[in-house]
Amino acid sequence: MKYISTRGRIDAIDFRRAVLMGLADDGGLIIPQSIPNVADRLEIWRKLSYPQLAFEVIRLFAADIPEADLRGLIDRTYGRAFPEDVVPVVRVGGLFVMELFHGPTLAFKDVALQLLGNLFEYILARRQGAMNILAATSGDTGSAAIYGVRGRRGIRIFVMHPLGAVSPIQERQMTAVLDDNVHNLAVQGSFDDCQNIMKSLAGDLEFKRKYNLGAVNSVNWARVLAQIVYYFRAALDACEAAGSKAAAVCVPTGNFGNVLAGWYARQMGAPISRLILATNCNDILARFFQTGQYSLGKVAQTLAPSMDIQVASNFERYLYYRAGSSPAALRALMDQFRKTGSLRVDSGGSGAVDPLFASAAADEQQILDAIRTTWRDHKYLLDPHSAVGVSVARRLAGGIDGPIVCLATAHPAKFPAAIRQATGEDLAHHPDIDRLMELPTRCTTVPNDAQKVRQFIVQKVASSR
């Protein structure tokens, strides 16, 4: 398997090079040259443990890693940082809920970032190299990335988060990690500003190469690849439990990375009937799948801060395929969006923008209502991001055939204020979170300025040599 860029201006590269490159050197996103079809393997895969399933999926895309090494990386990832049942599926009323929050930072991004940390270490050791990771986070990516690479030899990580726009616990999970190779930056701007800084510096090829700049955001293909696995698990488990041939999966999303993994799983043959895309009031993605218009709005701060995003970086991968896998057509769409803040994709006469996708948004009251009613009726506690998905799934369920699996993306203990507001009770606790509040922290506030972030990286790299 080789990898190319959506923009079409890099030579094909292997998996290990794709992992280290992160954002493609031409400013695009790295994608596989082909998507394997595994529909004939589903009966066998249904019986596999999660590490076994992860190996079967990932080896199709990582041919340049010896299978014994890859199996060891996967076993080490999911055998140490997670419970035996890595991503359990439970019934909650008429829905299934897949719990993706059993990793070290209690968020779904651990599932991919624990593996990515091991991949980085493995690849760098064989190249005798070092890496400086630059990450932008709206909340959970930062802590999951930090926990994936903290203390690892040859790796430094610089994590930018929007000042005052992540939850206090999300901020603590990042800034309470004091390892020498971890640097937290609070940017005086939005998450989209942080993401723009990351892309700006990664797009400076001289700087990127001189400082071996890498990425852990979902622009990194390995992030998306690791997430594909749990879509197979979700669909296979729900189909078996419900006696159905296919299942719908409801995904709360802001940056389109999580739901994109579901799209790839469906293209590979996973028994997924629909992908239900759920956003909060930052609804650029929901509006696109309803109208075909992808147009910027103003970022609003909500109870689900990890989804407070307007520019979804992974959307470019989906657009590439919608543009007929044409780099030139994709570049034209992205240029139009850069110049006008808007682009349009026609349905091609089929009516729906994409029949695979259903979409809707949940406002603040609907988020609170989903938390409250799910606790009242089923004694199951949702965090506000997972509540976005459950709220949308309930409203759209009448038009969906078969079981629906809602992805629970974070532990409710990360958002105690929202839980208290919804239920009137102090229910959201976890011992790891409770311990955080007593720990010292370290963070640097910086202007919304790529040059200032560049200077910070240069200074820290120089001082650590």
How many CB atoms neighbour CB 401 within 10 A? 12
* Euclidean distance between CA atoms 81 and 104, whole angstroms: 6
DSSP H helices in 81-178: 109-127, 140-149, 168-175
Q: Could you give the 3-state DSSP secondary structure of residue 128? A: coil
* pLDDT attached to residue 127: 86
Cβ atoms of 59 and 67 within 8 Å: the answer is yes
User: Which amino acid does the sequence have at 410?
Assistant: A
* Euclidean distance between CA atoms 166 and 186, whole angstroms: 10
* Euclidean distance between CA atoms 135 and 154, whole angstroms: 17
CA-closest candidate to residue 239, choices 104, 375, 46, 92: 46
Residues in the chain: 465
Residue whose token pair is 């400082």: 211
Q: Is 109 a catalytic residue?
A: yes
How many alpha carbons lie under 13 Å from residue 235 in its C-beta half-sphere? 28
* pLDDT attached to residue 348: 65
DSSP H or E stretch at residue 6 = none
Which token pair is 399?
A: 């038009």
β-bridge pairing 3-5 and 30-32: antiparallel
User: Which amino acid does the sequence have at 360?
Assistant: A
Q: Could you read off the pLDDT tens digit of each residue along the chain, which spans 465 residues?
A: 999 999 999 999 999 999 999 999 999 999 999 999 999 999 999 999 999 999 999 999 999 999 999 999 999 999 988 999 999 999 999 999 999 999 999 999 999 999 999 999 999 999 878 899 999 998 788 999 999 999 998 899 999 999 998 888 989 999 999 999 999 999 999 989 999 999 999 999 999 999 999 999 889 999 999 999 999 999 999 999 999 999 999 999 999 999 999 999 999 999 999 999 999 999 999 999 999 999 998 999 999 998 999 999 899 999 999 999 999 999 999 999 999 999 999 876 566 799 999 999 999 999 999 999 999 999 999 999 999 999 999 999 999 999 999 999 999 999 999 999 999 999 999 999 989 888 999 999 999 999 999 999 999 999 876
CATH code for the domain defined by 89-105+222-423 = 3.40.50.1100
User: Which amino acid does the sequence have at 187?
Assistant: V
* pLDDT attached to residue 129: 83
Selecting among 2, 47, 109, 379, the annotated active-site residue is: 109
